[in-house]
Chains A and B, each alone.
Chain A
Amino acid sequence: MSDMAIRPEVVREISGADEFGIVEKEFSTFERLYNLGWVRKTGLLILLALLWEGYARHLDNPLLVPTLTDTFRAWREGMESGVLPERILASLQVLAIGFTTGVVLAGILTVLAITTRIGTDFLESMTAMLNPLPAIALLPLALIWFGLGLGSLVFVLVHSVLWAVALNTHAGFRGVSNTLRMVGRNYGLSGLGLVFKILIPAAFPSILSGLKIGWAFAWRTLIAAELVFGVASGKGGLGWYIFESKNQLDIPEVFAGLLTIIMIGLLVENVIFRTIENRTVRRWGMQT
């Protein structure tokens, strides 16, 4: 059809900003506060704390549910008397030994896995078999092998950390783009140089999430193991503290122990790991 009418062209002036009603409007104070994640979460926590306090007072049975104030008092007394700090330190020491050993072993296994094919097979079969096995299930065996003490605790900790970290690190290494590997080889890197200068930083998001999972596993395993056989080389940890307090029917102290475990968990997750994340993977734009 050639009889289409020719339409006129349109060129418009763009109107200035002052002609619009709203270009930018500030939120009210409430809206701004409500938009902050931590404000909303703190609000929720306060609400839960009030519910707890109200229910405990209503129940009036400190053997079942102590009040929040009693719990906090027990916690403060524990901290001031030096019992709680000692228990925390004992737990953290064992944790540090077990966690570090686990991570180092995971590192060795994954480097073997990416450099040799048989290493890959070994890591894959071992993680497939042992990762689903709860560390605490090995505790009876550990007690026979290593006796009642540090050795057993470290053994179950290593087991809880090793496979999670190895699995994530290995997945991270395999996920490194071929282009980055080629860039590294272009600079003349190979073998361990390539692993340390290219693969580890490139796989860092996966490695970090592996470390986080490993830490969470290790922390839970440790407390559980301490509950089972408490005293390691004469020094009990937090699990032992809870166990002991329960035996003395000092329930506020049991709650204080639980509270401490939660607080340490939150602290490591939100302060230590968050700081590492902000300084590395977030800054590099590898994780949003």
Chain B
Amino acid sequence: MPGKTEPPPLLDVRGVTLRYKTRDHLITATYRVDFSIRQSDRFILLGPSGCGKSTLLKAVGGYMAPTEGEITLKGKRITRPGPDRMMVFQEFDQLLPWKTVRQNVVFALETSGKQKGRAADEQAMRYIEKVHLTRFADAYPHTLSGGMKQRVAIARGMAMEPDILLMDEPFAALDALTRRRMQDELLGLWEETRFTVLFVTHSIPEAVKIGNRILLMTPHPGQVKAELNSLDPSAHPGEVAMLEQRIHDMLFADRVEEEAHV
């Protein structure tokens, strides 16, 4: 993106503290987290389990309100879930089992009021084709493999043409080979449409491969450790390994500290 002046951020997270209650604890999931995402970013939230990255994504999704700070999308404060922020979950059961692949996508478009009737159907098929599932458009979700289900979920998210796509470890439950192919496909789709995505993962290689910007978080409570630039997909494997090592060291340093506390 050329232009000298800094463009206003698409999504702005300012000083966000998130707390939730369990049966007998009040848990602080994140503490005063700041970051901002620009148009067409592939922004990664990376950290070990318990660093509040998924909770943060839920807050951006509008499923929980920050106890402190605020989250704005295009300058408007996020107060509840909405189709301008489509979620792709880790679980395979995120597709409605009583609808076919095509109906799942159409239902999303129609229910949210984005599109109706034939237009919705065409839009749905266009995105189903993008994820190479045209042959399975009339199949029910239970007949698909895990990877195919995730592709449908991605197609559904993209077909809604949201301002930002929120992905919560969408490939974590897949086998290693499928996961790799899905990562490549996601990058391919990004090349085509340049959507903005906020992607949560606990895998360093996945973060380096998918993201252009990586937010590194430390656990208990989740705080921002660093915000790094990732590498171009065509980068030299040596550079990739070096970045992965650097991230690893940053996370590992914390672990030593944590163990010293115990």
Chain A residues with a Cβ under 8 A of chain B? 177, 179-180, 182-183, 185-189, 197-198, 201-202, 204, 280, 283-286
What are some 19 contacts across the A-B interface (CB < 8 A)? A179-B93, A179-B94, A183-B89, A183-B94, A183-B96, A185-B81, A186-B85, A186-B86, A187-B83, A188-B81, A188-B83, A188-B113, A284-B98, A284-B140, A285-B142, A285-B143, A286-B97, A286-B98, A286-B142
B63 touching A182, Cβ below 8 Å: yes
Closest Cβ–Cβ distance, residue B34 to chain A (whole Å) = 25
A179 touching B89, Cβ below 8 Å: yes
Give me 8 other A-B pairs in contact (C-beta within 8 A), A183-B96, A284-B140 excluded: A179-B91, A180-B94, A182-B63, A182-B89, A183-B89, A186-B87, A188-B113, A286-B142
| Interchain CA distance A204-B98 in the complex, whole Å | 10
Interface residue? B108 (CB, 8 A):
yes
| Interchain CA distance A51-B29 in the complex, whole Å | 72
A284 touching B61, Cβ below 8 Å: no
| Interchain CA distance A231-B82 in the complex, whole Å | 58
Contacts of A204 in B (CB 8 A): 98
Contacts of A188 in B (CB 8 A): 81-83, 111-113
How many B residues touch A, CB cutoff 8 Å?
Answer: 25
Interface residue? B141 (CB, 8 A):
yes
Contacts of A197 in B (CB 8 A): 111
| Interchain CA distance A201-B141 in the complex, whole Å | 15
- Which chain B residues (89-103) contact chain A, with CB distance < 8 Å? 89, 91, 93-94, 96-98
Contacts of B107 in A (CB 8 A): 187
| Interchain CA distance A284-B142 in the complex, whole Å | 7
Contacts of A183 in B (CB 8 A): 87, 89, 94, 96
Neighbour of B98 across the interface among A177, A179, A186, A201, CB < 8 A: A201
Chain B residue with the shortest CB-CB distance to A177: B93
Chain B residue with the shortest CB-CB distance to A201: B98
A186 touching B83, Cβ below 8 Å: yes
Closest Cβ–Cβ distance, residue B123 to chain A (whole Å) = 15
Chain B residues with a Cβ under 8 A of chain A? 61, 63, 80-83, 85-87, 89, 91, 93-94, 96-98, 107-108, 111-113, 140-143
Closest Cβ–Cβ distance, residue B122 to chain A (whole Å) = 19
Greatest chain B CB density within 10 A among A180, A197, A201, A204 is at: A180
Known: A182-B63, A284-B98. A187 touches B93 (CB 8 A): no
Known: A284-B98, A286-B98. A185 touches B141 (CB 8 A): no
Greatest chain A CB density within 10 A among B80, B83, B98, B140 is at: B98
Closest Cβ–Cβ distance, residue A283 to chain B (whole Å) = 7
B91 touching A177, Cβ below 8 Å: yes
A285 touching B94, Cβ below 8 Å: no
Chain B residue with the shortest CB-CB distance to A283: B140
Closest Cβ–Cβ distance, residue B240 to chain A (whole Å) = 32
Contacts of B142 in A (CB 8 A): 284-286
B96 touching A201, Cβ below 8 Å: yes
| Interchain CA distance A182-B168 in the complex, whole Å | 13
Contacts of A189 in B (CB 8 A): 111
Greatest chain A CB density within 10 A among B82, B97, B140 is at: B97
| Interchain CA distance A201-B95 in the complex, whole Å | 12
Known: A186-B61, A285-B141. A198 touches B81 (CB 8 A): no
Contacts of A280 in B (CB 8 A): 98
B96 touching A202, Cβ below 8 Å: yes
Closest Cβ–Cβ distance, residue A284 to chain B (whole Å) = 5
B108 touching A187, Cβ below 8 Å: yes
Contacts of A201 in B (CB 8 A): 96, 98
Chain A residue with the shortest CB-CB distance to B94: A179
Contacts of B91 in A (CB 8 A): 177, 179
Neighbour of B63 across the interface among A177, A185, A284, CB < 8 A: A185
Contacts of B63 in A (CB 8 A): 182, 185
| Interchain CA distance A143-B73 in the complex, whole Å | 65
Contacts of A286 in B (CB 8 A): 97-98, 142
Chain A residue with the shortest CB-CB distance to B104: A183
Closest Cβ–Cβ distance, residue A278 to chain B (whole Å) = 13
Greatest chain B CB density within 10 A among A183, A186, A280, A285 is at: A186
| Interchain CA distance A198-B97 in the complex, whole Å | 10
Closest Cβ–Cβ distance, residue A162 to chain B (whole Å) = 26
| Interchain CA distance A202-B80 in the complex, whole Å | 23
Chain B residue with the shortest CB-CB distance to A185: B81
Shortest 7 CB-CB contacts between residues of A and residues of B: A285-B142, A187-B111, A185-B81, A187-B112, A284-B98, A201-B98, A284-B97
